[in-house]
Structure formats: C-alpha cells, structure tokens
Amino acid sequence: MHSLTFTMKEDEDMSAFLAGCKGTWTDTVGSHPGSGQLQTTLFRNAVITGMPKEVKEAMESNPDIPGSSTEQWEKHLTHHMKHYRTKQDEDKQSNELAQVQLLKLQLDEARRKANDTKKASQKTTSQMVQRPSPQNNPPSLDPTPDWRPPYPQYGGRPIGVPGGIRGRGRGRGGFRGQPPNTCFECGQPGHWRRNCPMLWRPQGGQGLIRGQYVRSSQPPFQQAVQPYQVPNAAAAPVHGQYPQTMPEGQGYEY
C-alpha cells in the first residue's frame, strides 16, 4: 500500500495533471498505474484524495465509476472538475459583485451624511446671517421736549385781570382754598371764568377804557373755543377749568 496523494493546482489543465501523476507514480512505485487492476485502483484513490471535496464526493457517488475504463474515469474526473471550477468562478464573481454593491451603498451613505451635514451647516449659517444683530439706538436729537398739558397756576394772579396790570388796584387774592366751580376772575362760585360777567361790564357807550384788555368778542355764557386743547382728557384739571392768561403788554390800549 502506497500513501501517495496528488494535489491539482488551481489553473492546472486536467490532462497535464494526470500525466504528471502517472510519471510520479511510476517513479515512486516502480510500475505503471495501468499495469494491473491493483495498481489502477491505488492510483485512482491517490488522485481522488487530492481533489476538492465537491469533486471527490461527485466521483464517489457516481455508480459508473467502479470497473470503468481509464478513458471513462478520466472523462468523468475532467467533467466534475470543470463543473467545480465554473461554480467557483460564479461564486467569486457573485462575491465580488456583492462587495462592489456593499461598497457602493457605503459610499452613497457616506455622501448622504456629508450632504446632510453640509445642508445643516448652510442652514445654520443662513439663520445666523438673517438674524438681526442687536442695535444700540442713539439718543434722540430732537430738541422738542415732551408735551405736557398746561396746568392752572393756582395761587397766582392771572395777567390782564382788573387790578393785576401795572399796579392798578388790589388783586383779589389767590385761588387757594376756593371751593370747586369757583370763578378765577371774580372769586364767586356758580360759574367759570370764561362765563364771568366781570369780563363783560358795559362801557356805557364810552368805548374802551385806556389800559383795559379785550378778552373776547363773544357774548357771556356762550360756549367759546378754548384757547388750550389737551389731547388727553384724563390729563385735564378738575372740571376742565383752564386759566386764560395773556402775556403782559398784549391787547389793546386807548
């Protein structure tokens, strides 16, 4: 019994492989594999042992192999080896294609993530650009002061009333402590200054007295247009009574 085994190279031709196995066998054993049935069986077993698992199983499961001629045996061995190599090539191509597809998917995923990151960065940058920056408003250069409603000058003497110009006569005193609805002109309750009869004393046809100030051309107790209009009624004094004053020196004198 000889323990020789033969291993076929990946791309080796079957005819060349078998010829090499026969020469090695003859050199080792000292007799040709076809010299007898025993030598033929031992040689075939040595060749099948070195074959791939799929080829070995295919040859052992074939019922036509035992007792076949050398030509038939070599033909079956060549067929199964060719089938094995074809399947190996197909599997290799399939694996390569799968690897290519996997690499493509990984590349697409990497590109998608890169694009998402880029879009998120651009969106953040756009939001930062569109967001208005805080501005320090400069102080107003408008010299016009805030408007404040004129308040009555309680306790003072209105300009232009009798006894209040150029020291003529004695004034009627201030307006402090006076009850509501009291006239600022004569100090009597019951009417307001704009309706005071003291402003409409008849002149007896003698015309205006020298130094007397003309107040209005409207008759008494007629609602006249107020010289001061307040835009906010809540800011007006009690009963809306404003003192009507005229700067000193204005009016008509005779």
pLDDT tens digit string along 136-182?
655 555 555 555 545 444 444 444 444 443 444 444 444 555 677 78
- Cβ atoms of 209 and 195 closer than 8 Å: no
Lowest-confidence region among 1-5, 50-54, 75-79, 239-243: 239-243
Region for residue 64 given its phi and psi (left: phi exceeds 0; alpha: psi -120 to 50; beta: otherwise): alpha
- Cβ atoms of 23 and 47 closer than 8 Å: no
Say if residue 211's pLDDT is above 80.
no
Portion of the chain with pLDDT greater than 90, in percent: 29
User: Highest-confidence range of 110-114, 202-206, 220-224, 248-252, by mean pLDDT?
Assistant: 110-114
Q: Per the structure block, which two tokens stand in for 154?
A: 């309680």
At 189, give phi and psi (nearest 5°). -75, 165
pLDDT score recorded for residue 137: 59
Q: Is the dihedral of CA 187, 189, 195, 201 positive or negative?
A: negative
Distance, in Å, from the CA atom of 195 to the CA atom of 218, rounded to the nearest integer, reads 10
Distance, in Å, from the CA atom of 88 to the CA atom of 100, rounded to the nearest integer, reads 18
- What is the average per-residue pLDDT within 35-40? 90
Q: pLDDT band for position 223 (50/70/90)?
A: very low
The contacts found for 21-28 with CB under 8 angstroms, 24 or more apart, are 21/46, 21/47, 28/2, 28/4
Distance, in Å, from the CA atom of 205 to the CA atom of 197, rounded to the nearest integer, reads 17
pLDDT tens digit string along 78-134?
999 999 999 999 988 888 889 898 999 999 999 999 989 988 888 887 777 766 666
Q: pLDDT band for position 74 (50/70/90)?
A: very high
Q: Where are the domains of the chain?
A: 14-113
Q: pLDDT band for position 251 (50/70/90)?
A: very low
H/E element, 87: helix 70-130
Portion of the chain with pLDDT greater than 70, in percent: 57
Nearest residue to 38 (alpha-carbon basis) of 76, 2, 78: 2
pLDDT score recorded for residue 165: 38
pLDDT score recorded for residue 169: 40
Say if residue 69's pLDDT is above 60.
yes
- Between 223 and 85, the higher pLDDT residue: 85
pLDDT score recorded for residue 163: 42
Q: pLDDT band for position 190 (50/70/90)?
A: confident
pLDDT score recorded for residue 42: 93
- What is the average per-residue pLDDT within 249-254? 42
